[in-house]
Amino acid sequence: MSLTLIANWKLHGSKSFSRDWLNSFNDSYQGSSLSSIGIAPPSIFIDDLTKHIDNPGISIGSQNVDHFPSGARTGEISADMVADAGGQFSLAGHSERRIFFQETNADIALKLDLISESSLIPILCIGESIDEKDQNKTEIILEQQIIESLSAGSKLQNLIIAYEPVWAIGSGSSAAPEEINSIHKLIKDIVQSRFSALDLQGVIYGGSVNIENAFPILEEEEVDGALIGGASLNGEEFAKIANIFNELKEL
C-alpha cells in the first residue's frame, strides 16, 4: 500500500470534528478505493479515528514521533505507540517541526528508522525556505536534507518524500506546477543516484494545495500526490481534491 493524498490536521480537531469530517468526506468522495488516502490528526485522536474508519479504509497516521523509542521524554510519543494505536504512517521532518522544535536532519534520520522499524510508512518532509530559494540554494538544500535524513536509508521500506517549500506552506500561494514537477524529478534523481537500493514509493507536493489549484499541480507527471494542511480541515474540499486526483491518475 502507498499513500498519495494525506491530510495534515496540525493542531486542529476533536472527536466530534473527526465524525463531522468523515461524514462530509464520505458524502463527497466518488472514488471506489480509499486505500491511498491518509489522515494525520493530532496523535491523541489516532485511536478514535481508526475505530471510525471502515476497513480497508483511510489510513491514519501521526504528524511526528520522537527520535527515541522510549525513555524519560516527557510529552513525547513513540513510533511503536502510534502503531499500537492503529496508526499506519508517520510524517517526519515537517518544516514546522524543524522551525518551532529545532529538529535537525540527524533527528529526522533517527525518526525515520524508528517509523520504519514499527512497520509504519515513513513520510519524509523536505523543502527550502524563501531565503534559500532567493539565493538559488533549493537544489543544494534538498540534496542535503535527503542525504542527511536517509543516512540509514537502505533499511527504509515504502518511503514517501513530501516536497514542501517552506514559503508555500500556509501562505495561500503554491509553487508553480512546472517548478514542482522539475523539483520532484530532481528529488527522484537524487534518491536514485545516492540510495539506489531504497524503495521510494513517490514524491508528493505540499504547500497551499486547495480545490482551485489541485488540478494543475496534480496533473504534473512527477507529482505522485499531495500533503494538504489548511484545505484538509474541510472534509468536503479534501474529498473533492481526492476526486480530481483519482480522475487524473485514473484510480
| Pairing mode of beta strands 59-62, 37-40 | parallel
Q: How far is the CB of 111 from ligand PEP (least distance, A)?
A: 16
Q: Is 160 in the site for ligand PEP (CB under 6 A)?
A: no
Q: By C-beta, is 80 or 236 nearer to ligand PEP? A: 236
Q: Is 228 in the site for ligand PEP (CB under 6 A)?
A: yes
Could you report how far apart the first and last alpha carbons of the chain are, in Å?
A: 14
Active site members: 94, 164
Q: Is 8 in the site for ligand PEP (CB under 6 A)?
A: yes
Element (H, E) at 114: helix 105-117
Cβ density class 171-205: b for 16+ within 10 Å, e for less: eeebbebeebbebbebbbebbeeebeeeebbbbbb
Q: Is 107 in the site for ligand PEP (CB under 6 A)?
A: no
249 burial class (0-12, 13-18, 19+ CB within 10 angstroms)? middle
Distance separating alpha carbons of residues 132 and 135, to the nearest angstrom: 5
Distance separating alpha carbons of residues 26 and 20, to the nearest angstrom: 10
Q: By C-beta, is 87 or 165 nearer to ligand PEP? A: 165
Q: Is 170 in the site for ligand PEP (CB under 6 A)?
A: yes
Q: How far is the CB of 197 from ligand PEP (least distance, A)?
A: 28
Q: Which of 132, 164, 220, 237 binds ligand PEP (CB under 6 A)?
A: 164
Stretch that binds ligand PEP, among 49-57, 133-141, 164-172, 234-242 (CB under 6 A): 164-172
For 198, the 3-state DSSP assignment is coil
Residue 24 · residue 236 · CB < 8 Å: yes
Site for ligand PEP in 196-215 (CB under 6 A): 206-209
Q: By C-beta, is 132 or 195 nearer to ligand PEP? A: 132
Q: Is 61 in the site for ligand PEP (CB under 6 A)?
A: no
Q: Which residues of this chain interact with ligand PEP, rule CB under 6 A?
A: 8, 164, 169-170, 206-209, 227-231
